[in-house]
């Protein structure tokens, strides 16, 4: 821990290089903005070059004028297809061996088990699990060699609570949490912390299909204690915390940010009045 008892800087990320994979939209974009706001140099990574650049431009607007013209850009955009194992293996060196990794890409095909095609099943597993493993391995190796770093993966409450049509997605997220625990046990003795954030229902492109169905939308709203969808920006505190010295003794953990979804049984719409 570098900040001693100066608690005013406990969450600051100055002089640290962060890579946010999936920064082109949703939670990845908000995480990038939050890391920049707390002093980190951020590389906004996405397979969509235009989306990554848009996030980088938004981040740059947050910087003070005295950052302009620095020898090394504080924010930049990069392209990476995380399903390309060779490209992922080369990414840590290409991105300058970051101190922080936030990894957010995921896919969900909402179908009953009996209706899944082989291609659909493979597409979810390939992105949510296999790509996550190769990203974790590549950046973990880089950080272990340098004896420092924080990795934050994206899980979901679907790793624990499910519904029809969430089979493979939920299974991959449960596997991600297992990977986080395994990586923490292996990397933490080398100064590298590994954790995950597990959101509830968040208004992102991934959940657009559900939000556009009024019946499902209202059902999801009723399921959490707070009675609403989360905004992507409401998740960023978890990412900043786990990346920072405030979480210097936190590893192998899953931080749930779900508006009370997993704390209540069946939602709050029929609670007994006092």
**pLDDT band at 206; cut points 50, 70, 90:** confident
| Least trusted range by pLDDT, from 67-76, 103-112, 190-199, 258-267 | 67-76
How distant is the alpha carbon of residue 97 from its chain centre?
19
CATH code of the domain occupying 12-257: 3.40.50.720
pLDDT of residue 72: 52
The catalytic site residues sit at: 169
Structure tokens at 70: 């620095």
With 0.85 as the threshold, say if the pTM is over it.
yes
pLDDT of residue 272: 46
Alpha-carbon torsion (69, 101, 155, 106), positive or negative: positive
Residue 212 has pLDDT above 60, yes or no: yes
Long-range pairs, 205-210, Cβ under 8 A, ≥24: 205/25, 205/26, 206/26, 206/106, 206/107, 206/108, 209/110, 210/110
pLDDT of residue 274: 45
Mean residue pLDDT across the chain: 91
Average pLDDT for residues 66-76, to the nearest whole number? 62
Alpha-carbon torsion (183, 187, 189, 195), positive or negative: negative
Residue 65 has pLDDT above 70, yes or no: no
pLDDT in tens, 27-62: 999 999 999 999 999 999 999 999 999 999 999 988
pLDDT of residue 207: 82
Domains of the chain: which residue ranges?
Answer: 12-257
Average pLDDT for residues 221-243, to the nearest whole number? 93
pLDDT of residue 269: 52
């Amino acid at each position: 821990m570098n900040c001693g008892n100066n608690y005013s800087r406990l969450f600051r990320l100055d002089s640290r290089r962060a890579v946010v994979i999936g920064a082109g939209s949703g939670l990845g974009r908000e995480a990038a903005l939050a890391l920049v706001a707390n002093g980190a140099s951020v590389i906004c990574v996405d397979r969509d070059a235009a989306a990554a650049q848009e996030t980088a431009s938004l981040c740059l607007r947050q910087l003070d004028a005295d950052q302009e013209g620095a020898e090394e850009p504080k924010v930049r955009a990069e392209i990476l297809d995380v399903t390309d194992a060779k490209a992922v293996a080369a990414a840590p060196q290409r991105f300058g061996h970051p101190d922080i990794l936030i990894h957010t890409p995921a896919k969900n095909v909402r179908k009953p088990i009996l209706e899944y095609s082989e291609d659909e099943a493979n597409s979810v597993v390939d992105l949510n699990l296999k790509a996550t493993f190769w990203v974790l391995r590549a950046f973990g190796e880089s950080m272990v060699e340098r004896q420092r770093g924080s990795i934050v993966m994206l899980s979901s409450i679907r790793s624990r609570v499910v519904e029809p049509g969430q089979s493979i997605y939920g299974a991959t997220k449960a596997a991600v949490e297992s990977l986080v625990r395994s990586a923490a046990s292996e990397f933490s003795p080398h100064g590298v912390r590994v954790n995950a954030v597990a959101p509830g229902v968040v208004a992102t492109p991934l959940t657009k299909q559900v939000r556009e169905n009024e019946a499902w939308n209202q059902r999801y709203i009723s399921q959490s204690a707070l009675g609403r969808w989360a905004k992507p920006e409401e998740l960023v505190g978890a990412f900043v915390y786990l990346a920072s010295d405030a979480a210097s003794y936190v590893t192998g953990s899953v931080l749930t940010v779900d508006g009370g979804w997993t704390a209540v049984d069946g939602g709050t719409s029929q609670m007994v009045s006092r």
